[in-house]
Structure 1
Amino acid sequence: MAHTHNQLSPKEGIWALRKLPDMDEAQFNQWQTLLEHRTGMTLPPDRRSFLETNLSIRMREIGCSSYQAYYEKIVTGPEAVREWATLVDRLTVQETRFFRDPDACRLVADYVMTRPREQLKARAIEAWSVGCSTGEEPYTLAMILDECIEQLGMRPLYGVTGSDISQPAIEKARQGLFSARKLLGMDEDMKSRYFRPAERNTIKIVNRIRDRVCFARLNVLDLDKAPMHGMNIIFCQNLLIYFRRWRRREIVKRLAERLAPGGLLVLGQGELTDWQPPGLQRVPSEKVLAWIKRQSDEE
């Protein structure tokens, strides 16, 4: 996770070079518990160095000299809420890109192209990207829907919602500005249709796509409070890997409740094993983990 930081003053520079003591077992357990309690995410022991690195970077920025002092700042300090939001952003924003999983993208396109025409004409297609990070996934879904609806020769009735726990990620996503490297490997025709050059080597998503996507801050532990209902497509990839198995099942059950009958739920490969979510039917695919909600709404 690359983050740019302001130049350090000479005094801060000396402080920044001081190595923090290693995190002991009790401290690591304390942070593990806090993260799981507040976000549901589990941090296995082999991620201790990842946690140490990210905490120490942030602690140096604000001049905090011990893990314990920083923990107390996050739990009870006057800036606790803001500081927690900053830290969660550091710990959860993952590397993401457009059309990250081509097989899942094809499945979504096939799903839309095979919907009954009357259904597509009757109401807008609603898609939801859960754990959307900086926006590449929901914008990808919007581009797929746009292409499909154009091929079908229909009016563009669709909308995409992206949700994430990180407020800074959501704010970045709303801008629709991306570095050129995010588009590496993308089909040239798609690039020219959906992106325009912007300032300082950035690329901007075209307004007609950007206007179709809205973003909301949402912790997946609070799905019961989410305003999304009757979604046709829910895309939740590379998020469940951070949760315990029982919690993954809880999350998937909640997502299934948000699907319209006949709606499509797409997860990441290997994120849910040996379990059949109630009311859903597995899509026969070797390469994509996905389910369709049965038309009768009985669970």
Structure 2
Amino acid sequence: MLPLNREFEFTQADFEKIRKMIYNYAGIALSDSKHDMVYGRLAKRLRALNLSTFQQYLQVLERGDPKEFELFSNSMTTNLTSFFREAHHFDILARYLKDHRSATGFNIWCSASSTGEEPYSLAITACEAFDTLRPPVKIVATDLDTNVLEKGRTGIYPADEVKKLSPQRVSKFFNLQADGRYQLKQELRDMITFRRLNLIDPTWTIRGPFDAIFCRNVMIYFDKETQYKILQRFAPLMKPEGLLYVGHSENLYHAAEFFKLQGKTVYELAKTAPR
């Protein structure tokens, strides 16, 4: 008998196979508490493919269809974000940009860009720090989820989200669209390059050195071993004075040879870190 309100049977064995697949593919470690979340998200794929069981869906994935596997991984990622989330990080970045004036400009990597609010918050911070819509700052925004990357590229957001910002920021950095939504001005969109990247891929298609890497609220989805490997790869991509920003519930104590705490959830390179 199916659990109440469930359209499809979803066994523990099905869950274990899915958990293994997403771990091997993206490093995401799903706890037992995610059982219902996985069902809810993947049931949509079964309906879209006109399948009647999770076993059939697993067979599709096992055949290695790249498009469906992309949709599967998109379904398994969480994209909770907003403009200027954890606002103190942007204050720290603004001070850094003002204190490290450089003839070569600044490079920032937003390694889990989601739908774009975070990289655009970085772009706004840079514009305000230099008092221009064309600051000497380039931002690379990456994510595993192709759907959210496409939204980020458009730079279009609903009014209720944008209006959480100050009226001054809205008028300076956004254009009101005919449908009532808001789009970031072209100058800010030009600052950002959105690219798909899987943090556990053996090779990365981006190169440093970076003044800042934002990897916030990402490590919580990885186990300690995967976290360590990613942090080990971050270190040589950073400028000697660069800063790594993580989420409020994350710490890097298990990778102390690469990063040391500078301030509230902000890390600098340790002396033992590879250069």
Fold shared by both chains (TM-score > 0.5) = yes
- CA separation of 1:111 and 1:174: change in aligned 2, threshold 3 A: same
State the Cα distance separating 1:185 from its structure 2 match: 2.2
What is the one-letter code of the residue matched to 2:148? A
Matched residue type, 1:33: K
For residue 94 of structure 1, what is the amino acid of its counterpart? N
Q: Hey, what's the Cα distance between the residues in 1 that align with 2:134 and 2:68?
A: 45
Other-structure match for 1:127: 108
- For residues 103-252 of structure 1, the aligned pairs below 5 Å read 103-115=88-100, 117=101, 120=102, 122-150=103-131, 156-222=135-201, 224-252=203-231
* Deviation (angstroms), 1:294: 5.7
Q: Which stretch of the first structure deviates more once superposed, 103-112 or 235-244?
A: 103-112
- Structure 1 residue aligned with 2:34, among 47, 60, 73? 47
Alignment of 1:277-288 (within 5 A): 277-283=256-262, 285=263, 288=264
> TM-score normalised to the size of structure 1?
0.84
One-letter amino acid of the counterpart of residue 95, structure 1: L
Give the equivalent residue in structure 2 for 1:265. Answer: 244
Which residue in 2 is equivalent to 1:23? 10
Q: Is the 8 A contact 2:212 2:243 kept in 1?
A: yes
The answer to whether the 8 A contact 2:243-2:269 is kept is: yes
How far did residue 269 of structure 1 move? Answer: 2.0
- 3-state SS of 2:214 partner: strand
Return the offset for 1:273.
Answer: 4.8
RMSD after superposition? 2.2
Q: What amino acid does structure 1 have at the position aligned with 2:268? A: I
After superposition, the Cα gap between the structure-2 partners of 1:295 and 1:29, relative to the gap in structure 1 and judged at 3 Å, is closer
Q: TM-score, normalised by structure 2?
A: 0.91
Tell me the residue number matched to 1:85. Answer: 70
CA 1:200–1:155 in structure 2 vs 1: closer, same or farther (change >3 Å)?
Answer: closer
How far 1:199 sits from its partner (Å)?
Answer: 3.3
In 1: Cα distance, 2:178 partner to 2:51 partner: 36
2:262 aligned with 1:292: no
Deviations 1:39-79 (A, max 9, x none): 100110001000001111221122111111001112206xx
What amino acid is the match of 2:51? C
Counterparts of 1:295 and 1:274, CA distance in 2: 15
Q: Distance in 2 between matches of 1:72 and 1:51?
A: 17
SS of structure 2 residue aligned to 1:222 = coil
Structure 2 gaps of 5+ residues are none
Aligned match of 1:12: none
2:61 matches 1:74:
yes
Quickly say closer, same or farther: Cα 1:51–1:202, change in 2 above 3 A. same
SS in 2 for 1:211: helix
Q: The residue matched to 1:60 in structure 2 has which SS?
A: helix
Q: Distance in 1 between matches of 2:78 and 2:117?
A: 12
Question: Is the 1:163–1:217 Cα contact (8 Å) retained in structure 2?
Answer: yes
Match of 1:14 in 2: none
Change (3 A) 1:173 1:70: same
Cα offsets for 1:153-188 (capped at 9, x unmatched): x97211111000111211111111111122242121
Contact 1:93 1:169 in 2 (8 A): no
Do 1:256 and 1:265's aligned partners in 2 also have CA atoms closer than 8 Å? no
Following TM superposition, the consecutive aligned residue runs of length 4 or more in structure 1 with deviations greater than 6 angstroms are none
Retained in 2: the 8 A contact 1:126–1:160? Answer: yes
CA distance in 1, matches of 2:210, 2:231: 14
Shift of 1:225: 2.4
Q: Distance in 2 between matches of 1:54 and 1:155?
A: 40
Unaligned 5+ segments in structure 1 are: 1-17
Q: In 2, distance between residues paired with 1:26 and 1:214?
A: 40
